[in-house]
Amino acid sequence: MKDSVTELPFNAFVGLEALPGEAAPALRLPGGGQYLNHLGSVHAGALLTLAEAASGEFLLRHFGSTAGVVPVVRRLGAKFRKPAHGAVTSTAKIDDTALTQLADDLAAKGRALISVMVDLHDEAGTYVMSATVEWFIQRTPTP
């Protein structure tokens, strides 16, 4: 079991970092030339990677573990608002009733959907992207 999605091989390869001491779990994509596109701003793929990972980190922190469930991204929608420059930080949130509905659906049906909203800001504080990541979560069968 991983303590953070930053430990997953792809996220570690990309260099995502967990930000300690945050009230809500947050991740950061460090600044660097390897993340840039042909315009000199942070590549859309890097921003999408950060958004997906931030949504997973949010759920991991609320679940505490993925033991007994299999979470898989079902859909990711994003709106690119401004070009990102330098390091990019994520914040994630859900609707107030979403965790309760998730628990109810898992108990009743053994599967559920939950959407996590993610906002990304670059190191200058510019709001660069908003995304909604929909997760399909299924209980694993007990032997």
Contact 130, 119 (CB under 8 A): yes
CATH code at position 113:
3.10.129.10
pLDDT for position 143? 62
Residue 68 predicted with pLDDT over 60: yes
Q: Each residue of 88-142: pLDDT tens digit?
A: 999 999 988 888 898 899 989 999 999 999 999 999 999 999 999 999 999 887 6
Q: Which of 3, 36, 34 is nearest to 18 (CA)?
A: 3
> What's the domain range around 107?
5-139
pLDDT of 23 over the 90 cut? no
CA distances from 77 to 113, 134, 135 (A): 15, 9, 12
- How many domains are contained in the chain? 1
Q: What is the pTM of this model?
A: 0.92
Strands (E), the chain: 17-18, 27-29, 69-80, 88-93, 111-122, 127-139
For the residues 65-80, what does the mean pLDDT come to?
90
